[in-house]
Amino acid sequence: MIKLFFFLLSLFLGASGSVNGSVVEKENIKIFELKKGELSLKVTNWGASIVSLLLPDKNGKLGDVVLGYDSVKDYTNDTTYFGATVGRVANRIGGAQFTLHGTHYKLVANEGNNTLHGGSRGFGDVLWKVERYQKEGPSPRITFSYHSVDGEEGFPGDVIVSVSYILTGKNQLVILMKGKALNKATPLNLANHVYWNLGGQNSGNILNEVVQIFGSQITVVDSKLIPTGKFASVKGTAYDFLKPQSIGSRINQLAETKGYDINYVLDAEKGKKRKLAAIVQDKKSGRVFELYTNAPGLQFYSGNYIKNVKGKGGYVYNAHAGLCLETQAFPDSVNRPNFPSTIVTPEKPYKHYMLFKFSTKTHY
């Protein structure tokens, strides 16, 4: 009877951990800080997530420019992906299914009939292992790793992924994501889901922030935000950020989605693997960042569905409290043969690079 009790207890604990992590996992969640000059970054091993980033404004005053929570435990119940590393496949997979090498795979659907950010327990909802941690020095860094097992959320094969956060140069942040399939071909597309507000996380909405996106086309989507496989020029539309525009200047033209939530096809620079993807500026604070990447796409999300989320210092976030610029492969690539492939194999690993250059230089 005693053995039966402990067997049933273990099953219960296992089930209770299938959504937000086990009791043991939650006890092992920690925050780690990296510091270099005026830049201070805090991250957690839950979801390999960014928790805060302190930057000076044009007057030298430090402010946190990342939306999030006071308690690290709050991230285990988060439904907005604040700061998270999302995967195994970021963004959406239509119908929560795909066929690869003749085998049909049915995934966990967590947004209607579709899969979003890896399923109901994607990489943003698991505990990552700390592989390396160097708090200070010329290049402070931390590297997290995670072993995703065959069949997790329906995806094939074992995959080992890592995410490194590195402070370098003057007020620069590198995010380096790597992945390797151990035994089967599988789709892999990681993204960083930070919500930025360069005015400060408690400064209100981001509608006055000025954005420039170096993408001449978008991937056209249906009413469920699943790509149709077609591309469209942004010129003359509400999606045109080829020249700097404030986010709020044309957002009312996007009533159906309540704002921006679209993938840009980034313009390639001939002979260069890394390209300038976007520039964001908050005129009031003077803070600016430039985002460089080797990824083909950039999801611009204007925080349309944030509603009454109690954040840091008790500040309540609502719609457009922050913006996401997620460099990535194109959504639903696994079902779109005309999109760049997201398939990795034991012979073909994954690498995703992001560089954020922060400053108070006036671009516009």
| Beta bridge pairs of residue 279 | 212, 290
User: Can you tell me whether residue 333 is helix, strand or coil?
Assistant: helix
b/e for 325-347, b at 16 or more Cβ within 10 A? bbbbbbbbbbbbeebeebebeee
Phi and psi at residue 239, in whole multiples of 5°? -90, 5
Characterize the bridge pairing of strands 141-148 and 159-168.
antiparallel
Hey, how many other C-beta atoms are within 10 angstroms of the C-beta on 260? Answer: 24
Torsion from C-alpha of 363, 36, 123, 336, nearest 10 degrees: 30
Question: Do residues 190 and 226 touch, judged by C-beta distance below 8 A?
Answer: no
- The secondary structure of residue 196, as a DSSP letter, is B
Structure tokens at 306: 């944030």
Longest dimension (CA), the chain: 73
- Binding-site residue ranges for beta-D-galactose: 91-92, 193-195, 261
Known binding-site positions: 91-92, 193-195, 261
Dihedral angle, C-alpha 44, 47, 52, 55, nearest 10 °: 110
Contact by Cβ (8 Å): 125, 136: no
- How many CA within 13 A on the CB side of residue 201? 26
Catalytic sites, residue numbers: 193, 326
